């Protein structure tokens, strides 16, 4: 029980905040009589009850937080957020099955952006706002997990980014709170800036709020089936969306460090530099390919939409302005790579993260160097910091789990009756938290509504596994963990 007590206390606080947010979403629409308002009220009440129950179960002194309690904190709280986040959809929409509500919630909280809802424009405004808000909350949760939790749990090579806030010792509790507040303030500031930018450039205030939440969180939920394509007549809005998605793909700790030191540390980071290069090269190559295929397509608008969709995919946001599956085979191959790569660690994006590719390239070069000079010494450094063997091993283990998970989930989805393209790309988009996949069913012009319940549950597990960096959830589900 001592190991569970920290997670119960955190879960109690989380459920209370979740309930407050559900009630706050109702405030702007208090004069309206929607079933969605009843759904939000019932859901908020359930969360309040859960908060009280969890608080009573977690009474008592909290021991020093070790790795096992932190596994409990991570998995239990993310699971609760997904389960209770589904309640407003389940209670607030007619004919919404709980599996569908759970899929929408998991996709939102993990900032994946896949959806089972068709006719999004007909969804009551309170639920549209809730749908966007859960992505925004999931985004800040992902950042804090990457900064403070994953380095402590030694998962996926994240020890490379270990700071004082990652120690989780008694003496560092104040430091953890300070870093969290600083990141939270930057996150809120960027969100407010995005709201004002979108509003000034022509969105309605409601659309601006929703899209700011999901853009900054690199989540991808929109207020229309057309996604960001509903604003194609305003290229300035498309560029603003690209900018804020790109900002969401940069480590938030670098924003904090840059503000504190008053130096542009963001641009000196190796991972961010690679991020710039990947976006620039992908955008230019796809634009030139589209011109080569159709010589009448070299225009500023084509470049704009290419840049937007490249940034959307590499940051795993999932917005789309056009059906990019119609651009040809070369862009699809590039997008498939971008889905896997993701943006930077410590950002709101999903994917493998660019720093792991950089670490694996270090391993490859070291192997080549030692083949030529067996007795030579090869310096392992990343961002002018030494890289330990443990960090490289954890990164390799992470990539191995990605490949194994890709195989297992793709095979499992094919057994539910899905075609190979849908099975493979839906697995990629779920594990990497991207959103849309390829093909007629789950491509940028479709959604996941026609999938069976088993397939949706499998994808829920895949989305959560990808967001928790694979090993955190696998260790939690391991029988050995419970004997530990």
Q: State yes or no: pLDDT of 183 exceeds 80.
A: yes
Give me the pLDDT at residue 483, please.
60
What is the mean predicted confidence (pLDDT) over 359-386?
Answer: 79
Q: Residue 178: pLDDT above 90?
A: no
* 249 pLDDT tier (thresholds 50, 70, 90): very high
Do 129 and 209 form a contact (C-beta atoms < 8 A)? yes
335 vs 294: which has the higher pLDDT: 335
The predicted structure's pLDDT at residue 267: 85
> Where do we find the tokens 């899929």?
103
List, as one string, the DSSP characters of 237-268: HHHHHHHHHHHHTS-HHHHHHHHHHTS-GGGG
Q: Quick one: pLDDT band at residue 362, thresholds 50, 70, 90?
A: confident
Mean pLDDT of 232-243: 93
Nearest-angstrom CA–CA distance, 196 and 216: 13
- Give residue-wise pLDDT tens across range 464-474: 988 888 777 77
Lowest mean pLDDT among 29-38, 83-92, 179-188, 473-482: 473-482
* pLDDT given for residue 63 in this prediction: 55
DSSP assignments along 349-366, one per residue: --SS-HHHHHHHHHHHHH
Tell me if residue 382 falls in helix, strand or coil: strand
In this structure, the number of other CB atoms found within 10 A of the CB of residue 119 comes to 8
Residue with token string 């503000």 = 259
CA separation, residue 250 to residues 104, 198, 247, 355 (Å): 26, 20, 5, 12
Confidence band of 158 (pLDDT split at 50, 70, 90): low
d(CA 65, CA 59): 16
Distances (CA, A) of 172 to 71, 77, 257, 355: 19, 22, 18, 26
Is residue 223 scored above 50 in pLDDT? yes
Res 167 pLDDT > 50: no
- 23: pLDDT strictly greater than 90: yes
Going by C-beta distance under 8 Å and a sequence separation of 6 or more, which residues neighbour residue 7? 58, 69, 72, 73, 76, 77
Percent of the chain with pLDDT over 70: 88
86/289 Cα distance (integer angstroms): 42
Given pLDDT bands bounded at 50, 70 and 90, which one contains residue 199? Answer: very high
Q: Rounded to the nearest 10 degrees, how much is the dihedral formed by the CA atoms of 79, 82, 88, 93?
A: -120
Higher pLDDT, 76 or 44: 44
Q: For residue 7, which of 72, 53, 68, 65 has the smallest C-alpha distance?
A: 72
**pLDDT at residue 198, as a whole number:** 97
Q: Which range has the top average pLDDT, 269-273, 382-386, 469-473?
A: 269-273
463 touches 110 (CB < 8 A): yes
- Predicted confidence band of residue 248 (pLDDT cuts 50, 70, 90): very high
Q: What is the mean pLDDT of residues 75-91?
A: 92
For residue 145, what is the DSSP state? I
Please tell me whether residue 157 adopts helix, strand or coil conformation: coil
Higher pLDDT among residues 66 and 41, named by residue: 41
Q: For residue range 407-464, what is the model confidence (pLDDT) as tens digits?
A: 999 999 999 998 888 899 899 999 999 877 777 778 776 788 889 999 999 999 999 9
pLDDT digits (tens, 9 = 90+) for 132-151: 999 999 999 888 877 777 77
pLDDT of residue 9: 84
Determine contact, residues 42/158, Cβ cutoff 8 Å.
no
Q: How confident is the model at residue 206 (pLDDT cuts 50, 70, 90)?
A: very high
Residue 21 half-sphere exposure, CB side, CA atoms within 13 Å? Answer: 21
Which comes out higher in pLDDT, residue 111 or 294? 111
Tokens of 31: 């004069």
Contacts of residue 2, defined as CB under 8 A and 6 or more positions apart, other chains included, come to 63
| Amino acid 2: pLDDT | 59
The rounded distance, in Å, linking the Cα atoms of 110 and 432 is 10
Q: Which residue has the higher pLDDT, 114 or 381?
A: 114
What is the predicted pLDDT for the residue at 442?
83
Residue 295: what pLDDT? Answer: 62
Q: What CA–CA distance (Å, rounded) separates 350 from 114?
A: 13
Residue 174, classified by CB atoms within 10 Å of its CB into exposed (0-12), middle (13-18) or buried (19+), is exposed
Return the axis-axis angle of helices 125-144 and 173-200, rounded to nearest 10°: 140
CA distances for 56 relative to 51, 53, 62, 127, 209, angstroms: 9, 5, 13, 31, 37
Taking residues 311-339, report their average pLDDT.
90
Helix, strand, or coil here: 283?
helix
- The pLDDT score that the predictor gives to residue 165 is 40
Q: What is the pLDDT of residue 374?
A: 76
Radius of gyration, alpha carbons of the chain: 22
Contact 65, 481 (CB under 8 A): no
CA distance 79 to 84: 9
Place of tokens 């209670």: 91
Q: Residue 175 corresponds to which tokens in the numbers above?
A: 């430091």
- DSSP state at residue 118: S
Exposed e or buried b for every residue in 359-383, given b needs 16+ CB within 10 A?
A: bbebeeebeeeeeeeeeeeeebebe
CA–CA gap between residue 393 and residue 435 (Å, rounded): 29
| Backbone torsions φ then ψ of 197, nearest 5 degrees | -65, -50
Q: 13-29 burial string, b = 16+ CB within 10 Å, else e?
A: ebbbebbebbeebbeeb
Whether residue 188 has pLDDT greater than 80: yes
Mean pLDDT of the residues in the chain: 85
* Pairing label, strands 381-382, 385-386: antiparallel
Query: How does pLDDT run across 3-18, given as a tens digit for each residue?
Result: 677 778 888 989 999 9
H-helix segments, 1-97: 5-26, 35-57, 67-85, 87-92
Mean pLDDT score, 184-211: 96
337: which 2 tokens? 């790579």
Give the pLDDT confidence score for residue 168 in this predicted structure.
39
Neighbour-count burial for 402-414, b at 16+ CB within 10 Å, e otherwise: beebbeebbebbb
* Tokens (6 digits) for 399: 């990539």
């Amino acid at each position: 029980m001592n190991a569970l007590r920290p997670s119960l206390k955190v879960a109690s606080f989380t459920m209370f905040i979740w309930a407050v947010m559900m009630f706050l979403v109702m405030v702007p629409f208090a004069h309206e009589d929607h079933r969605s308002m009843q759904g939000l009220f019932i859901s908020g009440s359930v969360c309040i009850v859960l908060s009280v129950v969890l608080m009573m179960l977690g009474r008592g002194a909290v021991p020093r937080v070790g790795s096992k309690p932190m596994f409990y904190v991570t998995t239990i709280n993310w699971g609760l957020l997904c389960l209770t986040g589904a309640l407003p959809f389940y209670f607030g929409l007619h004919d919404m099955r709980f599996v569908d509500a759970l899929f929408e919630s998991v996709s939102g909280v993990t900032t994946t952006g896949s959806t089972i809802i068709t006719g999004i424009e007909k969804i009551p405004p309170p639920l549209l706002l809730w749908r966007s808000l859960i992505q925004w909350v999931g985004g800040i949760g992902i950042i804090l997990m990457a900064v403070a939790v994953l380095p402590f749990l030694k998962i996926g090579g994240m020890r490379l980014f270990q700071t004082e806030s990652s120690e989780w010792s008694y003496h560092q509790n104040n430091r953890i709170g300070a870093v969290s507040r600083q990141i939270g303030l930057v996150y809120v500031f960027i969100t407010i800036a995005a709201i004002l930018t979108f509003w000034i450039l022509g969105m309605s205030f409601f659309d601006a709020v929703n899209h700011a939440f999901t853009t900054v969180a690199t989540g991808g939920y929109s207020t229309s089936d057309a996604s960001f394509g509903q604003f194609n007549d305003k290229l300035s809005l498309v560029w603003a969306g690209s900018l804020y998605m790109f900002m969401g793909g940069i480590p938030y700790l670098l924003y904090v460090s840059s503000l504190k030191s008053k130096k542009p540390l963001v641009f000196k980071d190796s991972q961010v530099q690679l991020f710039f290069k990947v976006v620039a090269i992908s955008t230019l190559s796809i634009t030139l390919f589209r011109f080569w295929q159709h010589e009448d397509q070299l225009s500023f608008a084509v470049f704009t939409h290419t840049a937007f969709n490249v940034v959307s995919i590499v940051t795993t946001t999932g917005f789309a302005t056009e059906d990019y599956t119609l651009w040809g085979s070369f862009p699809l191959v590039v997008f498939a790579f971008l889905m896997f790569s993701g943006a930077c660690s410590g950002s709101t994006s999903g994917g493998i993260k660019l720093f792991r590719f950089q670490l694996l390239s270090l391993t490859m070069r070291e192997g080549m160097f030692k083949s030529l000079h067996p007795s030579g010494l090869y310096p392992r450094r990343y961002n002018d910091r030494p890289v330990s063997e443990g960090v490289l091993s954890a990164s390799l283990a992470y990539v191995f789990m990605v490949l194994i998970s890709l195989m297992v989930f793709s095979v499992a989805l094919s057994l539910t009756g899905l075609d190979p393209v849908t099975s493979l790309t839906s697995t990629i988009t779920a594990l990497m938290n991207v959103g849309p996949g390829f093909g007629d069913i789950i491509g940028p012009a479709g959604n996941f509504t026609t999938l069976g319940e088993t397939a949706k549950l499998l994808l829920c597990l895949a989305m959560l596994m990808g967001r928790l960096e694979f090993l955190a959830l696998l260790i939690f589900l391991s029988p050995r963990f419970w004997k530990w």
